[in-house]
Structures are given as C-alpha cells and as structure tokens.
Amino acid sequence: MANNASPILAHSDERYQSMLRALKQADFRLTPQRMAICRYLSETRSHPTPNDIFQAVHRQFPTISRATVYNTVAVLKELGEIIELPSAGGSSVRYETDLTPHVNLTCTRCGRIFDIPLENIDEISELIDSRTDFLVEEIHIEGYGICSECQKQIEQEERTKQHG
C-alpha cells in the first residue's frame, strides 16, 4: 500500500481483509456476493440495517437474495467481525462495523447512531478489574438521547405550537 493512502481507506481495507480471512477460516466460500457484502461493511460508517446492506449490494448483484445478506451478516456477527447493536426507538437492528474503541450515541427520535472515539478504554477496563473479580472480555458503551438535529426540530415544533 502506498504511503499516501488515507488512514480511513487503509482501515477499511484491513477490515475487509479481516472479514474475508474470518469467512475463509470458518470454511465459507468467498463468493463475489459475500465479498461485496464484506466490502460494503468494511467501507460504511453508517451502522447499516440488513436492508441497507441488501440495497447497497443489490446494485452490483441484482440477483442477490436477502437470505444471502442475512446469512452472511449472521456469520460475520458470530465470527466477531461485526456487532449487532440494540435497536432504539423501534428502529430495526443495525450493525457496528468499526471495532475500534468508541461510544455509540443513538438518537431515540430518529434512530441515527453517532460514533465518538474513546481513547481511554484501557483505563475503564483497569478500573473494573481493580474493583471487581469480573473478567472483562469486551466493553461496549452506548448512549441514548436526542441528537442536535432532532433537538432543533423539537424546538421548532414547540415554537409552532406556541404561535399556532
């Protein structure tokens, strides 16, 4: 890889290769459709739903079935390559594709998920380790609330009600 490659592109290529290795080691054939699913998941930052994944890959492979998408996502989840996120506000399940330490902030109004980098995850693990006998294998920090766009919409709705 060239030295001038963007860190995001380098990271997405590493994620892509990691997903392919995991599938191969688990004795799954690397079909063009599975590879396209992995490519999409490695490049997206959108916390996609299964339907988002299907729609994106369907453009390249019009004959791909939803079952292929669901099965591939289920395998990648089982292999630890992606994480299923809890749904908020009745939205459908979404997948975390970025395995670097960060906090997911989920808007309970619109369902969007925002990533906030978390540099001190080791400190959190050490704190838990020093205060408990619990063996932490993974930490996922989730925050739920209302995003700035939805806050603005709420304020606008309130103003409209007051002046209506």
> Using CA atoms, how far apart are residues 164 and 154, in angstroms rounded to an integer?
15
Q: Which of 113, 94, 89 is nearest to 103 (CA)?
A: 113
Condensed to tens digits (0 to 9), the pLDDT of residues 59-104 reads 999 999 999 999 999 999 999 999 988 766 566 788 988 888 888 8
Q: If you classify domain 7-85 with CATH, what class do you get?
A: mainly alpha
The CA-based dihedral angle spanning residues 7, 10, 16, 20, taken in that order and rounded to the nearest 10 degrees: -140
For residue 70, the number of C-alpha atoms closer than 13 Å in the C-beta half-sphere is 5
> Using CA atoms, how far apart are residues 162 and 105, in angstroms rounded to an integer?
30
- The residues spanned by each domain of the chain are 7-85, 100-163
Which is more confidently placed, 119 or 129? 129
> Using CA atoms, how far apart are residues 111 and 51, in angstroms rounded to an integer?
15
Helix (H, G, I), strand (E, B) or coil at 135: coil
| pTM to 2 decimal places | 0.74
Whether the Cβ atoms of residue 76 and residue 19 lie closer than 8 Å to each other: yes
Condensed to tens digits (0 to 9), the pLDDT of residues 120-162 reads 878 888 888 899 998 887 777 888 899 999 999 999 998 888 8
Q: If you classify domain 100-163 with CATH, what class do you get?
A: alpha beta
